[in-house]
Amino acid sequence: MQRYSVSELARGKDRGHPTETVCILADVRTNNSERKSIQVWSYGRNKIANLPRSLIRNHTHEAQHWAAISMPRWLVNKELLWDEPHPAEGEDAAANSERRTAEYVVGRENKYVLRPGQRRSIAAYGGRA
């Protein structure tokens, strides 16, 4: 088992396995089923990231603005997609509903996945809480 220093944990070092699947809330810019990729906004890079459909699983197929997308951890790290998207002011009811649905799916899919900077609880190791 690999150990991390306190400073690495404080900086939020990603401790998960690179091929582990992670579900993120994505700010979708282009979701056309005829394209070979989905374009999402990367808040870490401040630009659009193209996610190849061969590497991802879109849980909300019809999403036009907010989507729950599962992909390998290495791709999330490469495109800096860990930051949560900020809701736009004055968002219409359909987009707001779409975001709540995507957030629910992300929470369900990431139930046992550690995000950078998170620690496992003692209960997760079979100990008493």
Tell whether pTM > 0.85: no
126 phi-psi bin (left φ>0, alpha ψ -120 to 50, beta other): left
Determine, yes or no, domain membership for 40. yes
How many domains is the chain partitioned into structurally?
Answer: 1
User: Which residues are paired to 62 by β-bridges?
Assistant: none
pLDDT digits (tens, 9 = 90+) for 54-102: 999 999 988 888 999 999 989 998 999 988 777 667 778 888 889 999 9
User: Which residues are paired to 82 by β-bridges?
Assistant: none
Determine, yes or no, domain membership for 114. no
Determine, yes or no, domain membership for 79. yes
pLDDT digits (tens, 9 = 90+) for 6-42: 444 444 455 677 778 999 999 999 888 888 999 999 9
pLDDT beyond 60 at 127: no
Tell me the residue range of the domain where 105 lies: 21-109
Determine, yes or no, domain membership for 128. no
CA distances from 121 to 12, 50, 88 (A): 16, 35, 34
Determine, yes or no, domain membership for 26. yes
Determine, yes or no, domain membership for 124. no
Q: Kindly calculate the radius of gyration of the chain based on its CA atoms and give it in whole angstroms.
A: 16
Determine, yes or no, domain membership for 6. no
Determine, yes or no, domain membership for 9. no
